[in-house]
Structure 1
Amino acid sequence: MELRITGYDHPDAITLTEAVQQEYIARYGGIDTTEMKAEHFTAPLGVFVVGYLDGAPVACGGWRAKDGDYPYLRDGDAELKRMFVVPGARGRGLARALLRHLEESAVAAGRRRVVLETGTEQPEAVALYHSEGYLPITKFGVYRDAPESIHLGKELGDPSQH
Structure 2
Amino acid sequence: MLHLKRTTSENKDFLSLIRQLDAFLAITDGDEHDFYNQFNSTKGLQHVLVTYIDDAAVGCGAIRKYDEQTMEVKRMFTTAQSRGNGVASQVLKELEKWSLELGYKKCVLETGTRQLEAIALYKKNGYQLIPCYGQYLNVENSLCFEKIM
1:1-162 to structure 2, matched below 5 A, reads: 1-29=2-30, 30-31=33-34, 32-39=37-44, 41-42=45-46, 47-67=47-67, 75-156=68-149
Per-residue CA deviations over 1:110-161 (Å, capped at 9, x if unaligned) read 01110000011111111111111111222123332221100000101xxxxx
The structure 1 segments of at least 4 consecutive aligned residues displaced by more than 2 Å after TM superposition are 35-39, 141-145
Q: TM-score, normalised by structure 2?
A: 0.91
Structure 1 counterpart SS, 2:121: helix
Per-residue CA deviations over 1:78-135 (Å, capped at 9, x if unaligned) read 0000010000111100001111111011011101110000011111111111111111
Question: Which structure's residues are more often helix, by fraction?
Answer: 2
Q: TM-score, normalised by structure 1?
A: 0.84
Question: Which structure's residues are more often strand, by fraction?
Answer: 2
Instruction: List runs of 5+ in structure 1 lacking aligned partners.
Output: 68-74, 157-162
CA distance in structure 2 between the partners assigned to 1:5 and 1:35 by the alignment: 19
CA distance in structure 2 between the partners assigned to 1:10 and 1:27 by the alignment: 26
Cα RMSD (Å)? 1.3
Task: Please say if residues 18 and 75 of structure 2, whose CA atoms lie closer than 8 Å, have aligned partners that are also in contact.
Answer: yes
CA distance in structure 1 between the partners assigned to 2:117 and 2:142 by the alignment: 14
Alpha-carbon shift at residue 35 of structure 1 (Å): 5.0
Number of equivalences? 144
Q: What percentage of aligned pairs have identical amino acids?
A: 32
Task: Please say if residues 40 and 75 of structure 2, whose CA atoms lie closer than 8 Å, have aligned partners that are also in contact.
Answer: no
Structure 2 counterpart SS, 1:97: helix
Instruction: List runs of 5+ in structure 2 lacking aligned partners.
Output: none
